Homo-oligomer: A and B are copies of this chain.
Amino acid sequence: VIELIGFDADDTLWHNEIYYRQAQDELRAILSPYQQPGRIDDHLYQTEMKNLDHFGYGTKGFILSMIETAIELSQGCIPSSEIVKIINLGKQMLQADVVLLDHVQDAVADLAGTYPLVLITKGDLLDQQRKLGGSGLTAYFQQVEIVSEKSPDLYLNLLQNLDVAPICFLMVGNSLRSDIQPVLDIGGQAVFVPYQITWQHEIAEEADWSGEPGCHQLEHLGQLPDLVAQLNS
């Protein structure tokens, strides 16, 4: 029986990855005098991964990794006016409108009437709070956890604090790596709702999870209330 439902935020409740992709498009344009477009995405991703231990997740670290990428791929030739452009790209991301995915408003409002909901998200503290505020969904969540990594231990501690057994917890998200695998690992249940695009880092191998007990997949959040009703019937 499901007693608690957890939601990922970025690309589960609202659009996020598209803003990163738009910034990368702009970065490719800025770097077009220096490099072939194909090299740029790879180099940026490698820089992000190299910086992850220092910067963690979120937009501020992404801006810094874009700046490093621009300097390295231009072999130091990029003028500082272009670096200002990159910083401003980042600031635009930090002010971007929060656009809910289809069906999210109704599904979350519906489920909040019956179940306690928690939001569990990675990223920069202030930016995630801003997006939640802009989403209009704050009141539906009993608890909001902004975390540096979604590990099995993170989920276990959260459930212990809320006095919920893992088998009674259902996590909903678009990342196999962060939302699905660690929850299945601790004996919880999970609903995978793929987003139209996935950041390379969040992709996990399908073989690791598909067919596991407790794992479900939906096309959109409008289907979630029926699934939960079915699981609890």
B60 touching A87, Cβ below 8 Å: no
Q: Which of A18-74 contact B (CB under 8 A)?
A: 54-56, 60-61, 63-64, 67-68, 71, 74
Q: Among B84, B129, B148, point to the contact of A68 (Cβ < 8 A).
A: B84
Report how far A124 CA is from B125 CA in the complex, Å. 7
Hey, which chain B residues are within 8 Å of A56, CB to CB? 124-127
The interface-forming segment of A2-10, A75-83, A102-110, A186-194 is: A75-83
A227 interface hit (Cβ, 8 Å): no
Complex contacts, A60 vs chain B, CB 8 Å? 55, 60-61, 64, 124
CA–CA, A109 to B91, complex, Å? Answer: 42
Is A232 an interface residue when CB atoms closer than 8 A count as contact?
no
A126 to B147, CA, bound (A): 8
CA distance A67 to B70 in the complex (A): 14
Looking across the interface, which residue of chain B has its beta carbon closest to that of A57? B126
A60 and B65 alpha carbons, distance in the complex (Å): 11
Q: B residues within 8 A CB of A95?
A: 54
Given contacts A55-B60, A74-B80, A124-B125, 7 further A-B contacts (CB under 8 A): A54-B95, A56-B127, A60-B64, A64-B90, A71-B83, A76-B81, A125-B148
A-B contact pairs, 26 of them (CB 8 A): A54-B91, A54-B94, A54-B95, A56-B125, A56-B126, A56-B127, A64-B64, A64-B87, A67-B67, A67-B83, A67-B87, A68-B87, A71-B80, A71-B83, A74-B80, A76-B79, A76-B80, A76-B81, A76-B84, A80-B80, A80-B83, A83-B83, A124-B125, A125-B146, A125-B147, A126-B148
Q: Report, nearest first, the 7 A-B pairs whose CB atoms are least far apart.
A: A56-B126, A60-B60, A126-B148, A71-B80, A54-B94, A76-B80, A125-B148
